[in-house]
Structure formats: structure tokens, C-alpha cells
Structure 1
């Protein structure tokens, strides 16, 4: 979240927006001059806030564009980074809504993926099982464990800090195949 800073220079007060854009482990400062405090109108301030968001986005995307991805052209890379930035910004301002959104997307992904394999658990039942450990009535142990394995895999990946590798993929596969038909495999 940005902060407003007032600097007094030669008896006049000037207002600035100061913030830091976090990109991976780096924190890049962003400062924007708004104007003289006594003369700045509400409309000018709101306009400057919009410009500030653009400056923040530019700082974020410029950092990523320097990475030199050869498999995407600059416009596609920029568009992806705008989405990436917007997602992170949404998380800063609305963390609870972002968490609910991520849970909803995960439940839809799990239910859809397992349904392709023949699992008959509905989206609502999958949400209840993932979020509250409520087992749906009349479903086989195999179907329930398919959903539970996805939740355990997600917990594993949330705590994983290494690179994507063959070893990681094998671990993911073994975690996904645990407890088939109610017994450890």
C-alpha cells in the first residue's frame, strides 16, 4: 500500500506518493510527485493516482521484460505481465476475496479433473470435502480419496520451494496416487 509524504521546501508543502513494487525478492521504489499541497484539487489527485498505478505497472513489467524470454514476443510478454501485476494488486487490496477466488478455482479444477476420470462427486460436494472435510454420502472411498489427494498435493506444492524437476513431478505423481481404493499404494 502506498503512503503519502509531504515535503516542505522553501516554505511550501509538496505532496508525493511513495511505494515499493515487489518483484520476486526485489523491492523496487516508486515515487511520484503530485503537486503543491495547497493547490492540488481532488480531481488532480485522483488523476495522479491513476498515473501512479500506470507507473507501478511499468516498473513491474520493465523488470520482467529484461528477463529476455525468447519464446514470446514483447507484446505477449507485456500482456501476461499486466495480468500477473493485476492479480498481485488484487491480492494486496482484497486478500480475503482472492483467497476465496483461489479456493473456488481449485475446487472447480479438482472436480473437473476427477470427473474426466469418472468421479461422480459434484462441484458442491468437492468444495465441502476440500474446505470442510465433509464426506459426501453415497460416494465410494476411491472417489473421496481422489479429491483428498488433490488437497494434499496442493498443500505440498504450497510449501515447496525448489525448481520444477523430474524429481518433483515424480513426487507429485506419487502423492496423487496415494490411498487409492482406501488403502495406501
Structure 2
């Protein structure tokens, strides 16, 4: 559902079809819709969105991601970082290295500057193609940059029309600049926080 956001198709039937698919295949990833008015207000503020004049909070569909979805996003960030590192360098990321990253939906305007920053900063663009399956359009594309002298890789990837993932490798003795408040995971112990 999150991958296939389509602003052209906002019909209720399409939404219910996607929710039904998630419910059938991955029930723990269903969004939590029973947000309080304060949670909705906070989410709208965080995403830089405003209510229309006269629109009540009960008319606004806001949900919180469940723990299973957040865990899946963390796994995607880690796996994509390792996969892109391997694809672009031909080397396996050493286990003493660390990985950091974040994810968002394309509709989140508050995080748009981070995506724009990565897009302007990273020089290389890739749109992988798989000839052995039907052409589903632009399902994955990414931009990356690699500094061989520091063995540092950063990337931003778009999956489908809805999810954006960014990640980077961190050398054992390196530290993150303070404005980057993202979780950091050890390659050799990926499940430790």
C-alpha cells in the first residue's frame, strides 16, 4: 500500500483493496487508524500539512505505523545499504562498520529537504532492470555516492511511487554529524539497537 501511492487514484475501493491485501498477507503491518485528536494534530504539524477551513479532525485519515512495519523498514534500510554497497563496490561491507538510514512516504513534506539534499549531493543514478519479469515500470531507482578513500557510501532510493529510503555506511572510527539524528546499527550485530 505504501509503495504504490498513486495521487491519480484516490477511490475508496482502491484503498480498501490494498488494506485487504495487507490484512491477508501481513496483518501485523496494518496501520493503526484509531488516533486521538491530539495525535492527528501532532502528525499534521510534523508533516507540514494543514486542515481545510471547517474540516474536523474526525474527517482526516491519519494513522500510526505499527511496530512490525517499523521493524520491516529497518530491515529494508539495512539490506538495501548492504546490497547497494556490494553492487557498486563489488565488496562485502565489513562487519565492524555501521549503517544508518531513514525512510518516509513521498507525501511527508517535512522530510522533503533531506531527500532534495541527497538528490543534489549524490552523483550516480541507477534504475535497475530485471529482464526475467514483466515490466512493472519504475519499481526501484536510486542515487548514490561512494568515497573510496574513506570506504563511505550514501544513497537515496525510491521504491514504487510511495516510499523513499536513504542510508549510509559509517566506518568504525567515524561519527555522524550532530544534525543527522538517525538510528545506527552495527553490521556484525544487526538486531542490536
TM-score, normalised by the number of residues in structure 1: 0.26
**Greater Rg, structure 1 or structure 2?**
1
Q: Which of 1 and 2 has higher RCO (CA within 8 Å, sep 6+)?
A: 2
TM-score, normalised by the number of residues in structure 2: 0.25
Which of the pair is proportionally richer in helix?
Answer: 1
